[in-house]
Amino acid sequence: MDSFLEIWESIKDYLKNSVTQVAYNVWLKPLEFVSFKNDTLTLSTSEFKRGIVIDKFSSLIEKACEETIGFPVQIDFVISGENPDYSNSQEAKKQLKNSNDYNYTFENFIIGPSNRFAHAAAVNVATNPGKAYNPLFIYGHSGLGKTHLLSAIMNYIKENNPDADIIYTSGEHFTNELINCLRTKTNYAFHEKYRNCDILLVDDIQFIADKESTQEEFFHTFNTLNDAGKQIVLTSDRPPKEMLTLEERLLTRFESGLIADITAPTLETRMAIVKRKADDLNFELNDEVIHFIAENIKKNIRQLEGAVKKIKAYQDVEGTKPNIETAKRAISDIINDSQPLPMTIENIINEVARTFNVSAADIRSEKRNARISQARQVAIYIIKEVTDLPLKAIGKEFGNKHYSTIIYVLKEMEEKLANNVTLKATVDDIIKNITE
């Protein structure tokens, strides 16, 4: 049950990226996992929504399942509370939550040469908050364990000091929360929340780098907490000095504590991660399969764990013992060293959307909001820079725009980049993130 619940979360991520935010929040996010039996996924929803979900989204959900799991499944929608398995789904979700909490502890963190220093620093901070290293800044590429360490710090402090006021957030959430408070004129509540906590943990702090108002707010938050001896831990996909649009005053503060990096795990560490994940899911993988997975997925711990989850799903559905062929199927769609990340339009637009805090759908739309228009121009420019796509094909990706319009956008971007150092640094950052 637990393994497919985790896969259901991955299916929901696929759905979230396939529809508008409103459609996802209203129709797809509320869907409850009930069971997975005989190649049939049962989901529950309200009586009011069931017909619309079946009519509008059933095909998309089937596609999401096949893309995520690797084989087609049937979808059955039941009305909340009317299926005998439904009452168990809430308990299953509780078990999943507990499982995730367990995964994010120091005890369950696989230590190797690539992360030993960062792990030791995190443990020191958790056991001596505000006294060891402040701030602690952990950086490394996505999927290497930064979030695990951040969560482990939170869980350790919660267990040993239940009264501690801990805030765990992300750079993106901090920004969005600030924007909402400015709009509703509730700045005081925002200040009270962030400037009076005991522990501030911020994942993906690089998100604030090009946002002037957010940097201003975080500067004052940082100073208040630091002066009071409160612990601050930040994670990022790059070291502070490589955040080219980060204000100097924040850069010096981020570098004033301890900086620890996490690099790609060694083969031995990767094998230990695969084995531990299989143990967590209560099934056995032989050494040959473990070595095969670890040898072929070299840079991303999440991908290692995802491969194990998929193998477990195959075993549950097919009733066969995992072997090399099963492992090959499980990792067939996972990027590794021999299959570098392709420069797809989708990857580029998603990265631009993340940087400018807009949606990918907005960038592809005809909306003329200043931020969206800027993001759209940047996306067009970067696509032209890093791909071999003809101008006509680029125009097709943005609502069948004529190639002359694309030429105009490219010329305008070249002028902006020549005169706007901040924008150039942002574009360079995006290209670096995509091509590394």
The pLDDT tens digits for 188-198 are: 888 888 999 99
Residue 99 pLDDT > 60, yes or no? no
Nearest to 364 by CA among 249, 356, 375: 375
The fraction of the chain above a pLDDT of 70, given in percent, is 90
Residue 67 pLDDT > 50, yes or no? yes
Nearest-angstrom CA–CA distance, 365 and 352: 14
Orientation of helix 267-280 relative to helix 301-318, angle to 10°? 40
Residue 96 pLDDT > 60, yes or no? no
What pLDDT is attached to residue 186?
A: 79
What pLDDT is attached to residue 380?
A: 93
Residue 1 pLDDT > 90, yes or no? no
User: Between 5 and 348, where is the model more confident?
Assistant: 348
The fraction of the chain above a pLDDT of 90, given in percent, is 28
Is 256 in contact with 135 (CB distance < 8 Å)?
A: yes
pLDDT tens digits, 255-297 = 999 999 998 888 999 999 999 888 888 888 989 999 999 888 8
Nearest-angstrom CA–CA distance, 395 and 380: 9
Report the Cα 380 to chain-centroid distance in Å. 24
What pLDDT is attached to residue 343?
A: 57
Q: 417 to each of 300, 351, 389, 424, 434, how far by Cα in Å?
A: 33, 19, 21, 5, 19
What pLDDT is attached to residue 117?
A: 95
User: Between 13 and 343, where is the model more confident?
Assistant: 13
Helix or strand run (H / E) with residue 36 = strand 32-37
Nearest-angstrom CA–CA distance, 48 and 5: 25
- Pick one of 3.30.70.20, 3.40.50.2020, 3.20.20.100, 3.30.300.180 as the CATH number of 2-103: 3.30.300.180
Average pLDDT over residues 400-411: 87
Nearest-angstrom CA–CA distance, 8 and 33: 7
Q: Which fold has domain 116-261?
A: Rossmann fold (3.40.50)
Predicted TM-score of the model (pTM): 0.59
Report the range of poorest mean pLDDT among 114-128, 156-170, 421-435.
421-435
Residue 101 pLDDT > 60, yes or no? no
Instruction: Rank 64-73, 76-85, 129-138 by mean pLDDT and report only the highest.
Output: 129-138
Average pLDDT over residues 190-209: 91
What pLDDT is attached to residue 329?
A: 83
Q: Domain 345-435 sits in which CATH superfamily?
A: DnaA protein, C-terminal DNA-binding domain (1.10.1750.10)
Report the range of poorest mean pLDDT among 86-95, 176-185, 217-226.
86-95
| Average pLDDT along the chain | 83
Domain ranges across the chain: 2-103, 116-261, 267-331, 345-435
What pLDDT is attached to residue 69?
A: 77
pLDDT tens digits, 303-328 = 888 888 888 888 877 777 888 888 88
DSSP summary character for residue 340: P
Average pLDDT over residues 45-61: 81
Average pLDDT over residues 364-387: 88
pLDDT classification of 68: cutoffs 50, 70, 90 = confident
pLDDT classification of 238: cutoffs 50, 70, 90 = confident
Residue 387 pLDDT > 80, yes or no? no
pLDDT tens digits, 325-341 = 888 888 876 644 434 44
- Pick one of 1.10.8.60, 1.10.357.10, 3.20.20.70, 1.20.1260.10 as the CATH number of 267-331: 1.10.8.60
What pLDDT is attached to residue 87?
A: 37
What pLDDT is attached to residue 46?
A: 79
